[in-house]
Structure 1
Amino acid sequence: MTQEVALDTVIRQRIRGLRLARGWSLDALAARCHLSPSTLSRLETGHRRIALDQLVPIARALGTTLDQLVEAVDDEDVVIRPQPTHTRGLTTWLLSREDALHGVTVAKMRITPERPTGAEHLGVHPGREWFTVLSGTACLRLGARTILVRAGDAAEFSTMVPHAIGAHAGPVEILTIFDHDGERAHLHAPDDAPQR
């Protein structure tokens, strides 16, 4: 019963938080989901029981899904304890879960000059990539171009251009975001089989 009450409270907080994040008054949201402002106020404050037939239009009006609105809170899902994987010149820590929102993967990478970035190692795949340099200097190969990306700087580029990220004059650490195609190409490439 306590878990049910806690989830009920979270749902109310989500409704109010999403409404306020959009800058909407109770009247504005009520008009969008065809409820009276007083009913919506009582739902948000816990003075009225939440019914499924009210949640569906509220979720739709707030631009979310019913599943997201009523998703249970699980403290176990908060902390990610990444385990490093190693390939030649590269150590990777996955900082997001496999079922991450919109298929996006976040990873921290430590690249050393031993990582191969020659023409035969340039990859191409659909999408875009983004990374920021945490320390050191990254050497970004984009086709025939070589671009140095220093600590504090970020890079974003089309992955349809042949590309590789290496280290310039010592190790570099980057934080990167891959879409599904980028993850498959960079983290599961056959020539980058993890070393134990």
Structure 2
Amino acid sequence: MEQESGDLDSLVRKRLRALRVAQGWSLEELATRAHLSQSSLSRIENGQRRLALDQLVTLARALDTTLDQLVETAADDVVISPMIDGAHGLMRWPVKGDPGISVVRQRMTEPPPDNPSRMRAHPGREWLVVLSGTAVLMLGHRRLRVETNQAAEFPTMIPHAIGAEGGPCEIIGIFDRDARRGHQRDNGGDRDTPGIGD
């Protein structure tokens, strides 16, 4: 148990330094942003000073991250297998994201429904990026082609559906908190991640 605590302590110190360096900040710059002395920050990074919770919270804010992300240990689910939804011609790879945002990679093979009564509408916003192939975004009666390397952003209060055109397409869908909840309700709440083209 003590070994695990020491490993976490070391990991957090390395993350603090790595995040500071990634921002291009000197010890002095981060210390100023976190309202700490430069020598205190140096001792924290080098393991010469005990990590205190209040300082970690302050440092996390200054580095534009959260305390949870700063102390997160490696997850068991580093490699993610796709979830296959044969009924909708979808393959989903859930991707971790900000607590308020969901990111899902999907492979689609079926075209979207063109009947607005078969589309969904709910609060929120969605974004999609087409990785390969051509996607079709139905927004009410509008039919929009989104090709490889193109993106779309839309309010989800408009009845909408997404599918493939002329063969499979792969997309990344990004959902704000409200859009994620809307999709989970539409799916009967049985998934952790929303579906895009249902």
The TM-score bracket by the shorter chain reads: 0.7 to 0.9
Secondary structure of 1:78's partner? Answer: coil
How far apart in 1 are the matches of 2:44 and 2:187?
53
Q: Does 1:116 align with 2:113?
A: yes
User: Normalising by the residue count of structure 1, what TM-score does the alignment of the two structures yield?
Assistant: 0.77
Percent identity of paired positions between Structure 1 and Structure 2: 48
The verdict on how the C-alpha distance between 1:56 and 1:181 changes in structure 2, with shifts beyond 3 A counting, is closer
The verdict on how the C-alpha distance between 1:66 and 1:174 changes in structure 2, with shifts beyond 3 A counting, is closer
Counterpart residue identity of residue 44, structure 1: E
Residue 12 of structure 1, CA deviation: 0.7
Q: Extract structure 1 runs of 4+ deviating beyond 6 A.
A: none
Counterpart residue identity of residue 79, structure 2: V
Counterpart residue identity of residue 51, structure 1: A
Residue 187 of structure 1, CA deviation: 5.8
Residue 150 of structure 1, CA deviation: 2.0
Partner of residue 153, structure 2: 156
How far apart in 2 are the matches of 1:109 and 1:183?
18
Match of 1:183 among 169, 180, 191: 180
How far apart in 2 are the matches of 1:32 and 1:137?
45
Partner of residue 82, structure 2: 82
How far apart in 1 are the matches of 2:184 and 2:53?
42
Partner of residue 46, structure 2: 45
Q: Which runs of 5+ in 1 are unaligned?
A: none
How far apart in 1 are the matches of 2:163 and 2:82?
22
Q: How large is the RMSD of aligned CA atoms in angstroms? A: 3.0
User: Normalising by the residue count of structure 2, what TM-score does the alignment of the two structures yield?
Assistant: 0.76
Q: Which runs of 5+ in 2 are unaligned?
A: 192-198
How far apart in 1 are the matches of 2:30 and 2:172?
38
Q: Does 1:30 align with 2:19?
A: no
Per-residue CA deviations over 1:100-136 (Å, capped at 9, x if unaligned) read: 63241413131324x5332222222222222222333
Secondary structure of 1:124's partner? Answer: coil
Q: How many residues align?
A: 189
